[in-house]
Amino acid sequence: MYTRYLSRLFSAMAGPRPVVLSGPSGAGKSTLLKKLLKEYEGIFGFSVSHTTRSPRPGEENGNMYGTSKASVQAVKDKNLICVLDIDMQGVRAVKTTDLNPIYVFIQPPSMNILEKRLRDRKTESEESLQKRLHAAQVDMVISKDPGIFDVVIVNDSLDDAYGKLKDALIEEIKKVQKTNLSS
């Protein structure tokens, strides 16, 4: 039993810590992530997500999305920092695991700016846009709860937000770079 405990403990710690990146659509997560991947090529990896089938007649819960711990570990085993770009529900699910990620929340400077960014995309109906704005408002309130996120970054200036993101991840980035150099 003790050996099994040590084995689980080691596997949870093996490889660099994953990064949970969350925030409302339009906050700039993708833009920040692209900059990070360009500057630190070969440092980050993505896990494979899984989805269930649609519900059958009489069933209620279908279309479940998620990432298995095994797929996160597979990225860590390659000595890459696994990036999980997930919503608040996903953040809550990860909190119940032993993955020990760095939790980062990206938020827009204001709801008005978020609305402008989403409207400028011209990709969704008014109803869909209003749903996104409502969800963003709820997520931004939740993000302030102590212990949910390690870092909350307000993306009011791309360069400043990127600097804060790098600061939050630099320790893990250096670990990966050091291990890659020594192997």
Q: Is 8 a catalytic residue?
A: no
Q: Per-residue b/e over 108-139, b at no fewer than 16 CB within 10 Å?
A: beeeeebbebbeeeeeeeeeebeebbeebeeb
**Cα 55 to chain center, whole Å?**
27
Assess whether pLDDT exceeds 90 at residue 154: yes
Q: CA-based Rg of the chain, rounded to a whole angstrom?
A: 18
Q: Catalytic: which of 53, 56, 117, 119?
A: 56
pTM of the predicted protein model: 0.81
Which residues neighbour 21 within 8 Å (Cβ) at sequence distance 6 or greater? 29, 33, 83, 84, 85, 86, 104, 106
Fold of 7-182: Rossmann fold (3.40.50)
Q: Is 121 a catalytic residue?
A: yes
Assess whether pLDDT exceeds 60 at residue 7: no
Structure tokens at 43: 């440092």
d(CA 91, CA 52): 19
d(CA 32, CA 167): 13
User: What pLDDT digit, counting tens, does each position of 34-83 carry?
Assistant: 999 999 999 998 876 544 445 555 545 464 445 677 788 888 888 999 99
Do residues 45 and 78 touch, judged by C-beta distance below 8 A? yes
Q: Is 92 a catalytic residue?
A: no
Report domain extents, the chain: 7-182
Q: Catalytic: which of 17, 117, 119, 132?
A: 132
